[in-house]
Structure formats: structure tokens, C-alpha cells
Structure 1
């Protein structure tokens, strides 16, 4: 990365950072898409089982990954301050933290998975598939979180194309393994939805190995001496990462967990409704990769500029990012409005399921608008290392407002399952407004701290 002086230069650098991240996130979401889609092709019970398993796994995975990506603003600000020599030490501490997080997840799963699934009102076949799917995923937990740390470092240096390349390797590996393990081709066992979990675990090991290869062989990582020395675990360094990472993780967890909670609450509906809901959420999640990628790009760029004291440039990147996300949300809304039947047909061949998916996708249109504001704004705040208020805002918007409204509408009105989606839309809109207000406060505080809004190039 380098300082920029004009809007044109900023746009070029923004796109240079954004495009590989977007391809990476789309590829990662495509892995989940193919898990869901190919399981659905095997059978409705497998689609529902993978849906339940994913609803339990994704909030934990993304929330704890959020703690680890707290390394991104730390590294980007170090680079902005020209303190490159400290990067390797911070990354090593991130690896230690990822191992701690992995062991925590495995212990939690061993204790809680059986009781949680047993508490839910699921058909026996669906419960069995969900349990075995999650057991298979567990074999990839350690490399997944290790890769999250390495990717955070890679992206913070501006080398987002490396992450893109690694993920583009992972996608055909995952799809190929799904083909072999879900359907039992070429002599492999016919595992159904459980095969998607096995394929994902193997894929996690592949991307971790590829990231290590780049870290050791490619620049600028060789020059930064990353992972060339085994630094002892430092409680102080771990605490620094946790102070930034935990609020980020909670913010992500509160948002993803509320969607998963809705899926779990909908277990009282029939298997067809669960499957349709999960299919619609899965596609909406793919579209969410656009504002999420912009969010991650803004964390890198704003962190770099804020670390250098160039506050005007940081604000310009903020406006550029939010404006881009808002424009793209209109495009994705049109896709959902006019191509809903085609999208639904990707997930099922059952006409009744297709009709339900199409109806859910109409509500997903409204997700895109709020996400286009809220998600990039969170990325900007992380670049400023202002992370605590965001997770409080997310908790209030999603859990104090959105989920209760959804529950009331679903249980006490004729909306039924769609009531939950109305509640989610309400929570997302409130969260977007509150996050924007917080951003204005932070930018004014930084301007006062540095004595004015001028840029310091």
C-alpha cells in the first residue's frame, strides 16, 4: 500500500484491495453454497440436516474468526507507522491465540453438541445428519483458525491477491470432494450431507498449507520474517489482540447468530420450510459478500491512513466505500426481484420448495440495503480501532429489537415463518443508523486529536 493524493488514486487502490477480497469471499461463500446445494440434491433431509449443522457452526466459526481478524488493523497500523519489524511477533501471537480458540471450540463441541441437538424438535434423520456433519467439520478447526490469522496478516499488507489465489484453489478441491463424498462416486463412500462436512475439513487443511507456503516463500512476507522464529506466548500481546478482536468477534457473532437462531426457532415448522429458509439465507449470504468485502478493504485502508495521521484520506476512503456498497445493493436487489425463480431453482427441484424459497428471497431484498450501510461502517470503525461500541450496537439492534419483533410476528400473526425475516430487517436497519452515528463521532474525535482534518502526506 502507498499514500494517495487524489480521488482517482484512491479509487484505484481501493479496487486493487477490494477486488481480490471480493473474489475470495465469493469463493468462500460458494463453498457453503455448494455444500448446501449438493446436499439438497441428495435429499431434503440432508439439506435440512446441513442447514441445522451450519446454523450451529457458522456463528461460532465467524465470531471466533472475528477475534482473530483483530490482527488486521494491528498490522495495517504498524505498517502505516513504518514499524515493520514488529509484524512477525504480532503474527506469532495470533497463531498462539488461534490454537487456544481451536481447543476451546473442540471442547465446547464435545460437551454441548449432543444436548443442543437433542433439545431441538428435529426429525431423527435430520438430527443424525446435523450431528455427523459437525463432527466431520471438527477435524478442520485447527487449520481453519490458523489460516484466519495468516490471511489477516496477508490482507493487512495489501497482498489480497494472495488470499484470492488460495481460496480459488480451495473451491474446486471442496466441490470435487463433495462430488465424491456426498454421492459416493469413483468408489468413495456415499455419505450424503455428512460428506460435505468431511470435504470442508479437508479443504481447511489445504488452504492452511497453501497460506504457509506463501508466508515462507513470497514477498513481502519473507522480508517481514513471519513465522521464521518461534516467539513464546505473551499474555500482554494476547491481551492486546483480544481487546481489539473480542469486540469484533462479538459484533460478527451477534449478527450471524441471530440468523442461525431464527433457523433453530423455525425447527417447529416442517422440513420443507426449514430447507427453503436456509436456501434463501444461503443465497442472501452470497450477496452479502459484496458489502463484507468492502468492509474488510476499508479496515485495511482506513487503518493504514489513520496510523499515518492522514485523516482526510481516511474519510475519503470511508465515503468511497459506503457509496460503492450502497450502489451495489441496488443491483443485488434487482437480481432478487427479477430472478427469484431462477435462484430458487438452483437449490431444489421440488416446485413447493422453489415457491417457498422465492417468497423468502423477496424479504432478502431489504437485507441488502441495510447491509450496504452497516457492514462497511463497521469496517471503517475497525480501521480506527474503535470496536467496543459496535458490538453493543449490534447486540441491541439484533437481539433486543430485531429478534423479539420477529418472534412476536411469527408466533402471533399470520406472517408465520416470514415474521422472523421482518424482525431481522428491522434490526438491521436500526443497527445501520446507529453505526453511522458512531462513525461521525469517531471521525470528529480523531480530527480533534490530530489538530484538524488536514491530510499529512
Structure 2
């Protein structure tokens, strides 16, 4: 990365950082897409089972990964301040923390998974697929969290094309392993939806190992000597990471968990409705990769400018990123209106599931526009290391507004299952407005020198 003097230069640097992140996020999302899509073509029960498994795993994975991506604003600000000597040590501490978090996840999951599934009252086949899908995924937890740290380090240096390359290498591997284990091709066991969990776990190991090789051997990463020196655990560095990472993780968790909660609350509906809901959520999640990619790009660029004490440039990047996300969300809305039936047909051959999915996709138009504002705004706030208010605002918007409104609408009106999506639309809109207000407040304080630009 480098300082920029004009808006045109900012556009170019923004695009250089953003486009590889977008490709990477779409590729990572495509793994879940192919898990869902290929399981759905095996049977509606396998699609529903994977849907339940994904709904339980995604909030945990994204929330805990959110803690680890605190590496991004920390490294970006160190880079902006010219403190390159501190970066390698910080990354190693992130890897140690990732190992601890992964171990805790596996241990807690082993004790609590079956009781949680038992409490949902699922059909036998759906419960079995969800249980063994998550059991298979457990083998990929350590490399997934380790890769999150290494990817955050690489991206913070502006080397987003490298993480894009790593992910693109792994995507066809994921599809191929799914092909083998879901359908039992080439003599492999026919596992149905469970096979998609196997495919994801193996793919996470491949991603992690490739990232280690790149970080150790490839420039500019090798210059930070991450794996050339042995560093023990530093509780002080962990505290610094957690101070920024925990609010990020909880904010991310609140957002993703509300979608998971809706899916779990909808488990009382029939398998076709669950399958259609999950198909629509999966496609909406794919579209969500656009604002989440802009969010990550803004964290890097705003963090770099804040570290270098260029407040005006940081503000310009914020406007550029949020504006781009809104425009792209409107284009996505047009796609959903015009090609809704074709999109629904990607997930199932069952006409009833296709019809229901198409209806859910109409509701998705509204909340993905709110996402286009809220998510990049959070990225800019992370660049300023202003993370605690976002944690509070997302909790209120998603859990005190979205979920109650959804429950009331679904159970006390004629909307039925669609009522939960109305709740999501309401909560996400509130979140977008309040987070944008917080960003304006932070930028004004920084411009006046009220907040420290160069926190230790």
C-alpha cells in the first residue's frame, strides 16, 4: 500500500485491495454454496440437515474468526506508523490464540452438540445429517482459524491477491471431494450431506498449509520472519488482540447468529420450507460477500491512513466504500427480481421448494440493501479501532429488534415463515442507520483531534 493524493488514486488502490478480497470471499462462500447445492440434489432431507448444521456452525465460526481478524487493523496501523518490526511477533501471537480457540470449540462441541440437536425435535434423517456434518467439520477447525490469522496478516499488507490465489486453488478441491463423498463416486463411501462436511474440513487443511508455505517463503511476507524465530505465548499481546477482537467477534456473531436463530426457530415448519429458507439464505449470503469484502478492504485502508495520521484520506475511503456497496446492492436487487426463479432452481429440482425459495428471495432484496450500508460501515469503524459501540448496536438491532419482530410477525400474523424475514429486514435497517451515525461521530472527533490517532 502507499499514500494517495487524489480521488482517482484512491479508487485505484481501493480496487486493487477490494477485487481480490471479493474473489476470495465469493470462493469461500462458494464452498458453502456447493455444500448446500450438492446436498440438496442428493435429497431435501440432506439439504435440511446441512442447513441446520450450517446454522449452528456459522455463528460460532464467524464470531470466533472475528476475534482473530483483529490482526488486520493492528497490522495495518503498524504498517502506517512504520513499525514493521512488531508485525511478525503479533502474527505468531494470533496463531497461538487461534490454536487455543479451536481447541475450546472442539471440546465444547463434543459435549454439547447432541443435546442441542435433540432439543430441536428434528426428523431422524435431518438430525443424523446435521450431527455427522458437524462432526466432520470439527476436523477442519484448527486449520480454518489458523488460516484466518495468516490471511488477515497478508491482507493487512495489501497483498490481497495472494489470499485470492490460495482460495482459488482450494475451491475445485472442495468441489471434487464433495463429488466423491456426497454421491459415493469412484468407490468412496456415499455419505450424502455429511460428505460436504468432509470436503470442507480437508479443504481448510489445504488452505492453511499453502498459506504457511507462502508466509514462510514468499516476499514480502518472508521479510517479517514469522516462522524463522520461536516466540512463546504473550498474555499481554493476547489481551491487546482480545480487546479489539472480542467486540468485533461478538458484533459478527450477533449478526450471523440471528440468521441461524431464525433457521432454528423455523425447524417447526416442514422440511420443504426449511430447505427453501436455507436455499434463499445461502444465495443471500453469496450476495453478502460484496459488502463484507468492502468491509475488509475499508478496515485495511482506513487503518493504514489512521496509523499514518491522515484523517481526511481515511474519511474519503469510507465514503467511497459505502457508496460502492449501496450501488452494487441495487444491482443485485434487480438480479433477484428478474432471475429469481432461475436462482431458486439452482438449489432444488422440487417445484414446491423452488416456488418457496423464490418468495423468500423477494424479502432478501430489502435486507441486503441494509447490509450494504451496515457492513462496510463496520469495516471503517474497525480501521479506527472503534469496535465497542458496534458490538452494542448490532446486539440491539439484531436481537432486541429483529428477532422479536420476526417472532411476533411469524406467529401472530398471516405471514407465517416469511414473518421471520420481515423481522430481519427491520433489525438490519436499524443497524445500518445507527452504525452509520456512529461512523460520522467518530470521524468528526478524529478530525477535531478529540480521539488519539496513534493508539499504542
Same fold (TM over 0.5): yes
Distance 1:100 1:243 in 2: 17
Distance 1:252 1:280 in 2: 20
* Preserved contact between residue 445 and residue 451 of structure 2 (Cα < 8 Å): no
Distance 2:227 2:162 in 1: 17
Q: How does 1:274-423 map to 2 (within 5 A)?
A: 274-423=274-423
CA deviation map 1:76-130 (0-9, x unaligned): 0000000000000000000010011001100110111010000002001100110
Distance 2:67 2:326 in 1: 27
Find out whether 1:156 has 2:159 as its counterpart: no
Distance 1:380 1:187 in 2: 50
Alpha-carbon distance change, 450 to 219 in structure 1, aligned in 2, over 3 angstroms: farther
Partner of 1:171: 171
Partner of 2:207: 207
Find out whether 1:107 has 2:107 as its counterpart: yes
CA deviation map 1:280-308 (0-9, x unaligned): 00000000000000000000000000000
Distance 1:27 1:355 in 2: 27
Structure 1: gaps spanning 5 or more residues: none
Distance 1:302 1:315 in 2: 8
Deviation at 1:217, TM superposition (A): 1.1
Distance 1:427 1:27 in 2: 28
SS in 2 for 1:173: helix
Q: How does 1:49-198 map to 2 (within 5 A)?
A: 49-198=49-198
Deviation at 1:450, TM superposition (A): 7.2
SS in 2 for 1:449: coil
Distance 2:250 2:223 in 1: 34
Partner of 1:247: 247
CA deviation map 1:168-203 (0-9, x unaligned): 011100000000000010111111000000110000
SS in 1 for 2:377: helix
Structure 2: gaps spanning 5 or more residues: none
Distance 2:230 2:351 in 1: 57
Distance 1:2 1:18 in 2: 15
After superposing on structure 2, the runs of 4+ consecutive aligned residues of structure 1 that deviate more than 2 Å are: 450-453
Instruction: Report the RMSD for the aligned CA atoms in angstroms.
Output: 1.1
CA deviation map 1:197-236 (0-9, x unaligned): 0110000000000100110111111111122212110110
Partner of 1:227: 227
Deviation at 1:368, TM superposition (A): 1.6
Partner of 2:260: 260
SS in 1 for 2:448: helix
* Preserved contact between residue 309 and residue 450 of structure 1 (Cα < 8 Å): no
Distance 1:310 1:200 in 2: 41
Matched length: 453
* Preserved contact between residue 66 and residue 249 of structure 1 (Cα < 8 Å): yes
Distance 1:119 1:130 in 2: 13
Deviation at 1:25, TM superposition (A): 0.2
Distance 2:451 2:89 in 1: 32
Distance 2:368 2:187 in 1: 43
Alpha-carbon distance change, 378 to 185 in structure 1, aligned in 2, over 3 angstroms: same
Distance 1:420 1:156 in 2: 37
Distance 1:266 1:227 in 2: 47
Deviation at 1:449, TM superposition (A): 1.6
User: How does the TM-score come out when normalised to structure 1?
Assistant: 0.98
Distance 2:452 2:365 in 1: 40
